[in-house]
Amino acid sequence: MPRYMLLTKYDVDSIGAGPMSEWDPDDITAHLEFLRALNQELIDNGELVDMQALTGPELAKIVTFDGQGSPVVTDGPYTEVKEVLAGYQLVDVESEARAIEIAARVSAAPGPGGVPLRNRIEVRQLMGAALEPGDL
């Protein structure tokens, strides 16, 4: 079955929900409970391969190196980057349609006041092995 990485992109400006630390605590609980229930459902379906939340951009480092001397390490956050990768789910599903269905549910996770956050979820298929044998 095809495997998809669902990347949750969090854009503070366009979402308008502000950082989670400023939400009503009940809204945070509802948000986390929603994602927990969704992941449990994916586990029960035998679809979830892995899921991780990432630490914030404040802890991010960007590393570049030309192979000479010392690598250049830049500390985050990066003000020029508006969109932050918040986490991912790796799912093993029947079809792309199913991956999109799951992504849609992640996107609708509730934010402040229970309003769906409408986070941008990027759906990327993982590369697999070669396909069925042919004549080429």
Partner 1 sequence: MTSTARIEDLLPELAPQVLGAVVRRYGDFDAAEDAVQEALLAAAMHWPAEGLPDNPRGWLIQTAVRRLTDQYRSDQARRRREESAALRELPGAEPAQRDETLVLLFMCCHPALTPASSIALTLRAVAGLSTAEIATAFLVPEATMAQRISRAKQQIKASGIPFRIPAPQEFEARLRSVLHVLYLLFNEGYTSSAGADLHRTDLSGEAIRLTRTMHAMLPEHSEVTGLLALMLLNDARRPARTGAHGELIPLAEQDRTRWNRPAIAEGVRLAATAMSGGVVGEYQLQAAIAALHDGAERAEDTDWPQILGLYGLLARLSGNPIVELNRAVAAAMVHGPRAGLDLLAPLEERLPGHYRLDAVRGHLLDMIGDTEAAAAHYRAAAARTTSEPERQYLVTKAAKLNQQNR
What residue ranges bind partner 1 (CB under 8 A)? 1-3, 43-50, 92, 94, 125, 127-136
Min dist CB 49 to partner 1, Å, is 5
Nearer to partner 1 among residue 80 and residue 132 (C-beta): 132
Q: Which of 86, 9, 91 is nearest to 52 (CA)?
A: 86
22 vs 121: CA distance, rounded Å: 23
Nearer to partner 1 among residue 27 and residue 92 (C-beta): 92
95 vs 4: CA distance, rounded Å: 9
Angle at 60 between CA 29 and CA 86, to 5 degrees: 35
Min dist CB 114 to partner 1, Å, is 30
- φ, ψ for residue 99, nearest 5 deg: -60, -40
Min dist CB 96 to partner 1, Å, is 10
Nearer to partner 1 among residue 1 and residue 81 (C-beta): 1
